[in-house]
Amino acid sequence: MMRAGVVVFPGSRDDRDALRAVELMGAEPVRIWHRDEDLGGADAVIVPGGFSFGDHLRCGALAALSPAMAAVRAHAEAGGPVLGVCNGFQVLTEAGLLPGILRPNASLRFRCHDAPLVVERESAWLPGAGAGDRLTIPIKHHDGGWFAPPEQVAELERRGQVLLRYAQNPNGSVGSIACVTNERGNVAGLMPHPEHAVDELLGSADGRVLLQGLLDLAGAPVAA
């Protein structure tokens, strides 16, 4: 059975939701404490949402220095898949595993609602989805405005590192970009919460698309 690890920091709050979502997807959930120096045999990694270390200094900045993140970095460098969600996206940008930074929402207000997303292109992260398809996944964040300089954004677009855009930009993200990957394509981050969209009873099961992509990539690590 595929094993998917969820990294837990002081202040994480969506780790249990992520662990449950992994279980619903048919994989074995593995809890990884931030002080752990290995991933417990995990084939894939989720860095979940919350308020790691109380968002002191900058969102995700302290979590990026945790021992477990060294293991996450090694996993990514070996081609293993890593998915950062909300605060996890912030952590991965602070750790240099994903491009850009996350700034406060343009409204300077916390946003919590379903977010319609538009698929930019076909990707192993989005099995069964094609360009122009729509997914509905909830957001809940205050610092979710993704930003990068124009020349970097143009390069990311050219290399196909943009996977999802907001249909209606809720936070001021440059280019309405909602999900980006690293250059190799095995690390992805987004502010919307796929682990909160795994059951139609909750309004949408579209989050399963990204979680399935994570597990599929674990079965076929990206070559260097």
Respond yes or no: is residue 195 known to be catalytic. yes
User: Is the pLDDT confidence value at 55 over 60?
Assistant: yes
Indicate whether 68 pLDDT > 70. yes
pLDDT tier at 220 (50, 70, 90 boundaries)?
confident
* pTM, rounded to two decimals: 0.97
* pLDDT tens for each residue of 161-198: 999 999 999 999 999 999 999 999 999 999 999 999 99
Of 34, 86, 141, 142, the catalytic one is: 86
Residue 94 designated active-site: no
Average pLDDT over residues 5-21: 97
pLDDT value of residue 56: 86
pLDDT of amino acid 221: 64
Average pLDDT of the chain to the nearest whole number? 96
| Residue partners of 200: CB distance under 8 A and separation at least 6 | none
Report helix, strand or coil for 4.
strand
- CB 194 within 8 Å of CB 210: yes
| In the chain, domain spans | 3-218
Report whether 114 contacts 138 (CB < 8 A). Answer: yes
What is residue 223's predicted lDDT score, i.e. its pLDDT? 57
Q: Which residues have CB under 8 Å from 156's CB, separation 6+?
A: 99, 148, 162, 180
When pLDDT is cut at 50, 70 and 90, the band that residue 13 belongs to is: very high
User: Can you give the pLDDT at residue 4?
Assistant: 98
Residue 209, pLDDT > 80, answer yes
Residue 56 among the catalytic residues: no
Q: What is the CATH number of domain 3-218?
A: 3.40.50.880
- Out of 34, 75, 141, 193, which one is annotated catalytic? 193
The share of the chain scoring above pLDDT 90, in percent, equals 94
Query: What does the pLDDT look like over 98-142, one tens digit per residue?
Result: 999 999 999 999 999 999 999 999 999 999 999 999 999 999 999
**What mean pLDDT is predicted for residues 86-91?**
98
Burial of 35 per CB tally in 10 Å (0-12, 13-18, 19+)? exposed
Classified as helix, coil or strand, 138 is strand
